[in-house]
Structure 1
Amino acid sequence: MDRKLNALFLFIAVIVFITAANTTQQWNILLGVLLAAFFSLGAFVFNGLSLDGMFSAIVIGTFAFGLGGWELAVVLLLFFISSVVISDRSKSRDQNISQSVRRGGLQVWANGFWVVLFLIGVAILNTQIFLIGAIAAIATAAADTWATELASRNPGSTYLITNFKKVNPGTDGGVSVKGTTSAIFAAAMISGVSVYVFSLHFSVFLIIFVAAFLGCLIDSYLGALFQQNKRSVMLPVLNFEINFSNNLVNAIATGIGGLLAITSKMFFA
C-alpha cells in the first residue's frame, strides 16, 4: 500500500510542478525534492527509517518542503527527530525489543497522508486555512507518538478510555497521567513552534493545540473501540471488511485533528 501511495502522490507532485503558477514555485518543489531526499537518506543511514520508509518520507517531504516552505519543513523535522529520539530511548530500555526503531512506509504515511492532502489543498485552492490543517495533523501525530512512547516508561496506572477500567500498560486505548501529559507537551511544542515560524496569531496556537490533543484522544478511543476488541467494519455497499490496524487508526486520528483545526479556524477565528 505504501508503494502505491508513493506512486500516486509522485504523479500528483509532477502535475503540481507542471501547473505551478510561476517559476519560483517550480524551483521550490525541485528544492523540496533535494532536501527531502537528503534528510530521508540521513534518517535511513541512522536507522530512523526502513528503505520503504525512506521513499515514503521523500514523497511526503517533497510536498512539505516544496509547498509548505522552510517553515513547515522545520515543524515536520521537529516532529520526526523528536519522535525518533524518544522511540530510541524507550526501546533501548527493553531488552526484548530490537534496538532498531526504523519506521516503515505505512507508518510514515499514517502520519503524513493528511499533511500531503492538506498541502495539495493549499496549492490548488490557494488558501492558507489548509496549512493550519497540515500543522494540526503533524501536532496530532506528535501528541500520539509522545504519549505512546513516554508512557511506556514507568507508566503508572493505566485506564481504558472508553470505561476507565484499569488495564495493563500498553493496552490499545489505554490512557495514563504520564501519557496524557506527554501528549499535551508535544501538541504545545508543535503548535508553539508553528505559530512562531509562520508568525501566526496566538488564537491559531490554541486552535492547533486543542485540535491535536482531541485528535490524540480520538486515537486512543478508536484503539479501545476497535483494536482492543479486534473489531472490524463491513462496508455495506462495497462488501469490504476494514480491519483497524494501528496505522489506520493513526491516519484517521491525524485526519480528524487536521479537520478539527480547519473547522475551528473557519468558525471561531
Structure 2
Amino acid sequence: MTILVYQLLLGFFVSSIISFFSYIYHLLTKSGSLAVITVGTVVCAFGSWQTWVLLILLFGSSGLISILKKPIAISNEETLIAKDQQRDGWQILANGLPAIVSLILFYFTENQLFLIGYVSAIAGATADTWASEIGIVSRHTPRSILSFKPIAPGLSGGISSLGTFASLVGSGLIAGAFWLLSSLSITQTVLFFWIPLICGFANSLIDSILGAAFQVKYRCSICGQITERTEHHQLPTLKLSGLSWLTNDWVNFISGCLTVLLSWLLVYY
C-alpha cells in the first residue's frame, strides 16, 4: 500500500508538470490537462517505470510534432475536423482508457497478455496520432481508405503514403522502446515487439476504416464542403452520412478497444 501511494504521488507530480507545459504551449485544453494528469497518475500507480516511459513517449512525441507543425499552413484543416488542435479531456480519455484497463488487469493478474495489450494500445494511439499529425502535411491529396477516392485533407477515413509510413514508425517507436527497456530474451521478441508493432499499426487502419464508414459527417449549406463540424460559416451543417453519435472521439475509443482485443487474441493463439 505504501508503494502504491508513493507511485500515485510521483505520477501526479510528473504528469502535472507535463500537462502544465502542454497547456502553456496550447497543446491541451484545461480538461485535456486534467485528463493527462489522471491518466499519468493511474499508469504510474499500476504500472512499472517502463509503462510510464511509453506514456511519456506518446505525449512527448505527439506534442513535439504539433509544435513543429504549427508554422506550416494547412488550408481548411480547422474548418473540417470536429475539434481544434488543442486536445481536450475526451480525446485524451478516448485514447487512454483501453490501455489503462489492460494495465490494471495486468496489475491484478500478472498475466503478460494484459501487459502486451497495454503496450499495443499505446502503440496504436501513437500510430494514429502520428498518422494524423504528419499525414496532414503531405503534398499528395489523401484518399478514402474504402473507396480510394480523393478527399479533403483532415477528414477522417483518409490515408496517404506519408501518414501510413508515419503510423508504422510511431508504432515501431513504442514497440521498440518497450522491448529495449524490458531487456527481453530472444524467445519473447515476438510477443513484446512484433505483436505491439502489428497491433499499433492496425489501430490506425481500423481508425480510418471506422472513420470512413461510420463516423458522422456533415455538409455545409453555404459552400458545400464536407466537414466533421456541426457548424460551418457560422451556420448549422446538414448531416451527410454516418451515425449521429459516432464522433472522432468514439472512433478512437473503439479502435483502441479493438486493438487491445486483437493483441490478446494474437498472444492467446
Bin for the TM-score computed over the shorter chain = 0.7 to 0.9
Cα displacement (A) at 1:119: 1.7
- Which structure is richer in relative contact order (CA contacts within 8 A, separation 6 or more)? 2
Cα displacement (A) at 1:214: 1.0
- Specify the alignment match of 1:24 in structure 2: 3
- Specify the alignment match of 2:57 in structure 1: 78
Amino acid at match of 2:64: V
Cα displacement (A) at 1:87: 1.9
Question: Which of 24-33 and 59-68 deviates more?
Answer: 24-33
Amino acid at match of 1:230: S
Cα displacement (A) at 1:94: 2.1
Are 2:97 and 1:113 aligned? Answer: yes
Contact 2:27-2:66 within 8 A present in 1 as well = no
> What is the TM-score normalised by the length of structure 2?
0.80
Match of 1:244, SS state, is: coil
Amino acid at match of 1:257: T
**Bigger proportion of residues as helix:** 1
- Specify the alignment match of 1:230 in structure 2: 241
Structure 1 residue runs of 5 or longer lacking an equivalent are 1-21, 233-241
Are 2:251 and 1:249 aligned? Answer: yes
> What is the TM-score normalised by the length of structure 1?
0.80
Are 2:42 and 1:42 aligned? Answer: no
Cα displacement (A) at 1:140: 0.6
Give the fraction of aligned pairs with identical amino acids, expressed as a percent. 32
Per-residue CA distance 1:216-238 (angstroms, 9 max, x = gap): 10000000002256311xxxxxx
Correspondences of 1:55-66 after superposition (within 5 Å): 55-66=34-45
Contact 1:155-1:179 within 8 A present in 2 as well = no
- Specify the alignment match of 2:209 in structure 1: 221
- Specify the alignment match of 1:258 in structure 2: 260
Contact 1:151-1:179 within 8 A present in 2 as well = yes
**4+ residue runs of structure 1 moved beyond 6 angstroms?**
95-98
State the distance in 1 between where 2:26 and 2:142 align.
31
Are 2:44 and 1:68 aligned? Answer: no
Structure 2 residue runs of 5 or longer lacking an equivalent are 79-83, 218-239
State the distance in 1 between where 2:67 and 2:24 align.
15
Match of 1:103, SS state, is: coil
